């Protein structure tokens, strides 16, 4: 049967098993919207700003592992979506973005609502397509899903001129596609696996450094098994939190700029580092010239260009994190007799000494609400089992440091691009995927305003997200840098003229609770979570002066951390055994 | 170090901009870039001359391979290869200079492909160094314009870049 391009787009989504798409209509997309209207398999979530659509689809994708789908119109529709596309690109989230485009004959004419969508998105997508012939449409859609979800995942744009959505052709959705120019590697090279195990078994001061790639590849079980087999310390990046359980004795916490003392010191002192699904980002490494000076590095990544990009690697292994970790486990089991946990005893003694200080200390007796306290309470009340999205700033770091994740895909934040405004729409996407689960958005008063319009979407679709606003009346992270590095010149970081968030949420039809006493924190959280089918905006008035510790300042190494005065004296540096 | 990278690219709109965009976005250096269709109409062949440390070249190669439109790639400078560039030059040619330029063109095995009362248009093919040397040798002559194609190349012997 012949179908119009618009119907083909929707059919493809159905045949791909897509349940939800996030979008906003406009002229160039109207045929597609009409096709959506005439069916009820694919449910469309109408956001209030296209940035919200791409973040929501991203949140959905990260929480489920399935591709998130966005539908926007040409011109301002796609430009508004770009921030969300770039966010997904930096964190390797699988998105398929469908954008309407002006009709083929008008392309290049500066037509109404025309932008070069393929050109604008090129540097922030894994790949993009402009469909020029309706007969290519179904195959292009299949390719888009294939590219977005395979290898190192990422966003893919399909730009479809309006006339193409009106033209008709026979609809055949290919069951699979192969592309001669795209063949992601899955298995790691067996020789490299053997070499890696040799090196691991000979380590005296090993560390396993696991990142978001472990989450994306659903490799957490294999990671845990491997780490436990070896009895080696493990640290996670901001993107990898949950990959290794926070309360396991082998876990050193998060590493990097605001990572724990023990994780960063162990990174600095290690002699063998196994990096899996992590990319040696500058927020992780600090000054590269001071980075892990004694380490021989094994680097596992599905993206060859991540390997050797920032640091020199001894043993590169290109492959999917899950497959490689499973191969490592198999090889280790075959050589179980060679695993000698006594070999790392001194190293563990050293690590325990580092752990002896409380690097996440904060003032427990304050009369003001400490943001860390709110997150700790949140963890307790939710048993560490909530989905937590965040925005960007101090609150994001406190959430990462204090929530304590035991599972993957529960911690959803914009690590790579650092996009304020991500938290609320991402939480919507998660809540749509898991309607019965608790979804919390930890945010700051500056970030939340960036996509506050999505409160309206939450009302329309009854999304009972719980917003935990750590309201310090400052762009706290900016203020912290100004305090440390600009002599306390707080240039434009004070959030003047803030709205009354309780009234604001209520005007959108939600509930709001203002909390300004530490004693009320727990009660307010419990009260909010009891309102299971309500969005509740919890506005915590927190200590304005609080800073995120520990901190590695720019140009410093992992062993040069700035600690909270209440952390206690760091142990004396000593020769590493 | 100077490197020549040959690429087989999907012959699709936007493929060229993906490659050039990669170089500008990541701050890699391009000395020259040439591209044209091949005998297989679905493929273009691109030759990029770039320079950088071994680490940078390794990254360039990996990043290029990561582009979905890049089908296959070869680093020509890794093995024996032949490199050629075409140059067209228009020079002032009057009086004694007419003979002198003609002799020079012969020495460099070039050709005069267009003539007016006062100008010659010269064609020369060769390595980048040879073309540079020719331009230098023309130093007494008034050059009106120089058009260079950018280097292209092919591996020697059995080594080939094909599907
Ligand atoms: C879209 C965007 N603009 C600017 C920034 C730079 N920035 C990083 S953190 C931050 C302040 C965030 O303030 P708030 O949301 O109140 O969180 P806090 O740090 O106070 O917890 C800013 C402006 C950013 N990350 N994203």
- pLDDT confidence band for B7 (50 / 70 / 90): very high
Instruction: Verify whether the Cβ–Cβ distance A308 to B55 is below 8 Å.
Output: yes
pLDDT category at B13 given cuts 50, 70, 90 is confident
Taking CA–CA distances from A318, the nearest residue in chain B reads B62
pLDDT at A194: 98
pLDDT at B6 > cutoff 80: yes
Residues of A in contact with B58 (CB under 8 A): 308
Distance, CA of A426 to CA of A54 (rounded, Å): 9
Of B62, B67, B70, which to mutate for an interface test with A (greatest number of A Cβ within 10 Å)? B62
Distance of alpha carbon A397 from alpha carbon A477, whole angstroms = 9
Mind listing the pLDDT tens digit of every residue in chain A (577 residues)?
899 999 999 999 999 999 999 999 999 999 999 999 999 999 999 999 999 999 999 999 999 999 999 999 999 999 999 999 999 999 999 999 999 999 999 999 999 999 999 999 999 999 999 999 999 999 999 999 999 999 999 999 999 999 999 999 999 999 999 999 999 999 999 999 999 999 999 999 999 999 999 999 999 999 999 999 999 999 999 999 999 999 999 999 999 999 999 999 999 999 999 999 999 999 999 899 999 999 999 999 999 999 999 999 999 999 999 999 999 999 999 999 999 989 999 999 999 999 999 999 999 999 999 999 999 999 999 999 999 999 999 999 999 999 999 999 999 999 999 999 999 999 999 999 999 999 999 999 999 999 999 999 999 999 999 999 999 999 999 999 999 999 999 999 999 999 999 999 999 999 999 999 999 999 999 999 999 999 999 999 999 999 999 999 988 999 999 999 899 888 887 777 6
Contact state of B13 with A130 under an 8 Å Cβ cutoff: yes
The nearest CA of chain B is from the CA of A304 a distance in Å of 7
Residue A522: cis peptide before it, omega within 30 degrees of 0: no
Q: Which of A419, A446, A474, A543 has most ligand 1 atoms within 8 Å of its beta carbon, as the pocket-test mutant?
A: A446
Q: How far is A25 from chain B (nearest CA, A)?
A: 27
> In this structure, what DSSP letter does residue A136 have?
G
Instruction: Please name the residue of chain A whose CA is at the shortest distance from the CA of residue B17.
Output: A119
Q: Using an 8 Å Cβ cutoff, are A303 and A151 in contact?
A: yes
A480 with A448: CB under 8 angstroms? no
Is A305 in contact with B63 (Cβ distance < 8 A)?
A: yes
How many C-beta atoms surround the C-beta of residue B111 within 10 A?
A: 12
> Cβ separation of B66 and A123 shorter than 8 Å?
no
- According to DSSP, residue A155 is labeled E
> Which atom of ligand 1 is least distant from the CA of A421?
1
Protein residue closest via CA to atom 20 of ligand 1 = A476
3-state DSSP assignment of residue A209 = strand
Q: Which of A304, A136, A128 is CA-nearest to residue A213?
A: A304
**How confident is the model at residue A250, as a pLDDT?**
98
Residues 6 or more apart whose CB falls under 8 angstroms from that of A89 comprise: A124, A125, A126, A154, A155, A416, A417
Cα B44 from Cα B3, distance rounded (Å) = 20
Q: Tokens standing for A114?
A: 């025309």
| Cβ pair B59:A303 closer than 8 A | no
CA of residue A254 to ligand 1 center, whole Å: 21
Q: Of B13, B18, B72, which has the smallest distance from its Cβ to A122's Cβ?
A: B18
Taking an 8 Å cut-off on Cβ atoms, the answer to whether B21 and A305 are in contact is: no
Q: Testing the interface with B: which of A86, A104, A181 to mutate, by most B Cβ within 10 A?
A: A181
> What's residue A524's pLDDT?
98
Which protein residue's CA is at the shortest distance from atom 3 of ligand 1? Answer: A420
d(CA A217, CA A211): 11
Compare CB distances from A147 to B21, B68, B163 and report the shortest one's residue: B68
Catalytic residue numbers of A read: 50, 112-113, 162, 477
- Minimal CA–CA distance to A500: which of A466, A539, A470? A539
ipTM: 0.93
Whose C-alpha lies nearest to ligand 1, atom 18? A476
DSSP state of A287: S
Q: Verify whether the Cβ–Cβ distance A181 to B69 is below 8 Å.
A: yes
Percent composition of chain B: helix, strand, coil (DSSP 3-state, to 5): 30, 40, 30
- A423 contacts A51 by C-beta, under 8 angstroms: no
User: pLDDT value at position A577?
Assistant: 63
Q: Which residue has the tokens 């228009």?
A: B90
Residue A366, classified by CB atoms within 10 Å of its CB into exposed (0-12), middle (13-18) or buried (19+), is: middle
Distances (CA, A) of B146 to B123, B131, B134: 10, 11, 11
> What residue has token string 């003609």?
B102
Report which ligand 1 atom has the smallest distance to the Cα of A396: 21
Contact A289, A270 (CB under 8 A): no
A178 close contact with B: CB closer than 8 A: no
Which pTM was predicted?
0.97
Distance in Å, alpha carbon of A305 to nearest chain B alpha carbon: 5
Q: Would you call A45 exposed, middle or buried from its count of C-beta atoms within 10 A (0-12, 13-18, 19+)? A: buried
In DSSP terms, B154 is beta-bridged to B82
Give bridge partners of residue A497 from the DSSP assignment: none
Cβ < 6 Å from ligand 1: which residues? A 391-395, 418-421, 444-447, 470, 472, 474-478
A117 touches chain B (CB under 8 A): no
Partner-chain residue, chosen from B13, B62, B70, that has the shortest CB–CB distance to A181: B70
- Nearest CB among A119, A181, A304 relative to B68 is that of A181
């Amino acid at each position: 049967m012949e179908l119009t391009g618009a119907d083909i787009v929707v059919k493809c989504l159905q045949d791909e098993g897509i349940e939800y798409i996030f979008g906003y209509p406009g002229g160039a997309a109207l045929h597609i919207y009409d096709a959506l209207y005439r069916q009820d398999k694919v449910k469309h979530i109408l956001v209030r700003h296209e940035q919200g659509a791409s973040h929501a689809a991203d949140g959905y994708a990260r929480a489920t592992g399935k591709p998130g789908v966005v539908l926007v119109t040409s011109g301002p529709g796609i430009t508004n979506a770009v921030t969300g596309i770039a966010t997904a690109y930096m964190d390797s989230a699988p998105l398929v973005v469908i954008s309407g485009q002006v009709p083929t004959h008008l392309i290049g004419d500066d037509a109404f609502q025309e932008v070069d969508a393929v050109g604008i998105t090129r540097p922030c997508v894994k790949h993009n397509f402009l469909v020029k012939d309706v007969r290519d449409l179904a195959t292009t859609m299949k390719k888009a899903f294939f590219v977005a979800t395979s290898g190192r995942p990422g966003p893919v744009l399909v730009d479809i001129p309006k006339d193409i959505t009106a033209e008709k052709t026979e609809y055949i959705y290919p069951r699979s596609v192969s592309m001669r120019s795209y063949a992601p590697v899955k298995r790691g090279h067996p020789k490299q696996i053997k070499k890696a195990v040799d090196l691991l078994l000979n380590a005296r001061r090993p560390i396993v450094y696991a990142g978001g790639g472990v989450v994306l590849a659903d490799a957490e079980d294999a990671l845990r098994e491997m780490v436990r087999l070896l009895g080696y310390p493990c640290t996670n990046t901001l993107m990898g939190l949950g990959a290794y359980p926070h309360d396991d004795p082998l876990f050193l916490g998060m590493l990097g700029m605001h990572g724990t003392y023990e994780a960063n010191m162990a990174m600095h002192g290690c002699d063998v580092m196994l990096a899996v699904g992590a990319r040696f980002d500058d927020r992780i490494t600090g000054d590269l010239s001071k980075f892990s000076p004694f380490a021989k590095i094994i680097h596992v990544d599905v993206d060859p260009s991540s390997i050797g990009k920032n640091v020199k690697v001894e043993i590169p292994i290109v492959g999917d994190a899950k497959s490689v970790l499973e191969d490592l486990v198999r090889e280790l089991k075959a050589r179980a007799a060679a695993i000698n946990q006594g070999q790392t005893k001194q190293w563990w003694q050293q690590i325990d000494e580092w752990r002896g200080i409380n690097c996440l200390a904060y003032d427990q007796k304050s009369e003001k609400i400490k943001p860390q306290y709110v997150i700790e309470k949140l963890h307790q009340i939710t048993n560490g089992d909530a989905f937590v999205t965040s925005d960007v700033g101090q609150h994001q770091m406190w959430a990462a440091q204090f929530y304590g994740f035991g599972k993957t895909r529960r911690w959803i934040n914009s690590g790579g691009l650092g996009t304020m405004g991500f938290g609320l729409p991402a939480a919507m996407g998660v809540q749509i995927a898991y309607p019965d689960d608790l979804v919390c958005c930890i945010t700051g008063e500056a970030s939340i305003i960036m996509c506050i319009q999505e409160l309206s979407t939450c009302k329309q679709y009854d999304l009972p997200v719980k917003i935990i606003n750590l309201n310090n009346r400052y762009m706290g992270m900016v203020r912290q840098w100004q305090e440390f590095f600009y002599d306390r010149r707080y240039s434009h970081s004070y959030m003047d003229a803030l709205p009354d968030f309780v009234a604001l949420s209520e005007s959108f039809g939600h509930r709001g609770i203002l909390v300004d006493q530490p004693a009320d924190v727990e009660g307010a959280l419990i009260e909010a979570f009891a309102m299971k089918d309500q969005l509740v905006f919890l506005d915590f008035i927190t200590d304005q002066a609080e800073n995120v510790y520990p901190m590695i300042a720019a140009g410093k190494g992992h062993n040069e951390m700035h600690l909270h005065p209440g952390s206690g004296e760091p142990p004396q540096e000593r020769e590493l055994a | 170090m100077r490197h020549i990278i040959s690429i087989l690219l999907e012959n699709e709109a936007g493929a060229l901009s993906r490659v050039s965009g990669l170089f500008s976005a990541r701050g890699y250096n391009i000395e020259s870039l040439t591209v044209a269709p091949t005998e297989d109409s679905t493929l273009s062949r691109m030759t990029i001359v770039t320079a950088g440390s071994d680490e940078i070249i390794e990254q360039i190669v990996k990043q290029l391979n990561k582009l979905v439109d890049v089908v296959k790639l070869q680093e020509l400078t890794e093995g024996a290869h032949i490199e050629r560039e075409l140059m067209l030059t228009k020079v002032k040619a009057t009086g004694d200079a007419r003979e002198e330029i003609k002799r020079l063109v012969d020495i460099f095995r070039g050709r005069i492909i267009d003539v007016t009362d006062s100008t010659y248009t010269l064609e020369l093919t060769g390595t980048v160094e040879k073309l540079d040397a020719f331009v230098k040798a023309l130093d007494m002559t008034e050059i009106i314009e120089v058009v260079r194609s950018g280097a292209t190349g092919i591996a020697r012997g059995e080594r080939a870049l094909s599907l």
